[in-house]
Amino acid sequence: MALRLIEIFIPPKDEYRVEQALKDCSYLDIWQERFSKDLIHIKILLPTENTEEVLDHLEKHISRVEGYRILLFHVEASLPRFEPLKKEEAPLPDMKQNSKNSRISREELYADIDATIKLTKIFIILALLSSVVAAIGILQDNVAVIIGAMVIAPLLGPNLALSLATTLGDIDLARRAMKANAAGIIAVLSFAAVVGYLLKFDPDIPQIISRTRVSIGDIILALAAGSAAALSMTTGVSSALIGVMVAVALLPPLVVLGMLLGSGEWYLATGAVLLVLTNLICINLAGVMTFLIQGIQPRKLWDVDRAKKATQVALVLWTILLMVLMALIFITQ
């Protein structure tokens, strides 16, 4: 059973607010201690799937309390163990079934994704290093080296952040996600264009030719990558392998596009452009749909309508763009 630990620091006079918040919530255990004369320290142990419900209730009841603080921690292990329930067994005390099981809380998801879109020197350096490795792998027709480049590429975060921002109707997150995405794409394309300009290479290399043609398989791959990435983040699964999957759809085509543009291979570059655009659209479309299926939505009621409208517009826009690109692919082929 995946567990989380919520710690609350609150003035003693407002302790009753926590009790009110937890009255109808599900948790496994709770402890309380006097942290100082001005603060009470409360710890709540609960299953991961109940975290969002508890956090929402806590924020609703104590958000106006001056000096409060809520912290959320991942629990690696707990002794004695909480054994998984068998079908024939009655539920544990204070436990109720949650329709949003198997996913982490909205706040934890937001924090995880927000950490991946910090536009720092490290982000740009990783994008450039992944381009270097990918370019070498493509020119040498070495799949293993290309896979190594995918591991380095920081392309997972910005695309997931854009999908999450759409689902939550979060304009600020969307702006930062697009900024990080644009920076990563520009860095990759710029370096690859310089490589294409300086080096003489054979455009008939299999690793290049395969990324100048778009097929139904490429569309399915990008949709699967976007959905798997979103699902891995909402369930708290390690995103390393999923990051590689997203990089499969984004990094190599970007490097190939830059190299073809730098070498003046305009006709082949148009095919690479179609592949890059198709991948971006499919990854974000699948990401938004997966977040919706997982029940990700804003906490505040007045934000729900705005998020719903933003999601509907995004889904229609991504779908139309994908249909247009599929038509262009059919025409060009």
Report DSSP letters for 245-310, one per residue: HHHHHHHHHHHHHHHHHHHT-HHHHHHHHHHHHHHHHHHHHHHHHHHHHTT---SSHHHHHHHHHH
Q: Which domains does the chain have, with CATH numbers?
A: 3-79 (3.30.70.260), 107-332 (no CATH)
Average the pLDDT over 17-39 and give the result.
87
Q: Which residues contact 297 (CB under 8 A, 6 or more apart)?
A: 106, 167, 168, 304, 307
pLDDT tens profile 252-302: 899 999 999 999 999 899 889 999 998 899 989 999 999 998 888 887 766
pLDDT tens profile 93-131: 443 344 455 688 888 888 888 888 988 999 999 999 999
pLDDT tens profile 144-185: 888 888 878 888 889 889 999 999 989 999 999 999 999 999
pTM of full prediction above 0.75? yes
Cα distance from N-terminal residue to C-terminal residue, the chain? 51
